[in-house]
Amino acid sequence: MAGFGAVPDELRRTAGRIADTVERAAEVAWRGPGGDYGHGDIQSAWGRFMDDVDRRLRSLRERAGEHGSGLRDAADRYLEQEQEGLSVFSELQDAVERSPRAPAFGAAPGRIASVLDGGG
């Protein structure tokens, strides 16, 4: 559970979906036309087109990997921050529980110091 309103598990799932989607796109059978179409320029143009598709797919994989890593890193940072916050609050709670029950300095009725001392 994330206390910051972000859901690290969802960030990780999204990173996985990005990778899966790119891999499915890359698995599409990118093949040139079979046979001889009677004109060498058609075959040559198709080859250039397929080379361009290959370059763009590699670029897409790289960018998707970067974005996925960024999402996983963000999920890790959220969890680290949450743990740090919980640790601080736990330490505060321990300190309050160990402290003497003396009234806080300047505790006036209705003020926060009074409430913290249990004086209402």
pLDDT at residue 65 greater than cutoff 80: yes
Give residues with Cβ within 8 angstroms of 64, minimum separation 6: 18, 19, 21, 22
pLDDT at 89: 79
Q: Are 10 and 72 in contact (CB under 8 A)?
A: no
Assessment of whether the complete model's pTM goes beyond 0.85 = no
Mean pLDDT over residues 6-28, rounded? 87
Residue owning tokens 């698995």: 27
pLDDT at 17: 94
Mean pLDDT over residues 50-64, rounded? 90
pLDDT at 1: 44
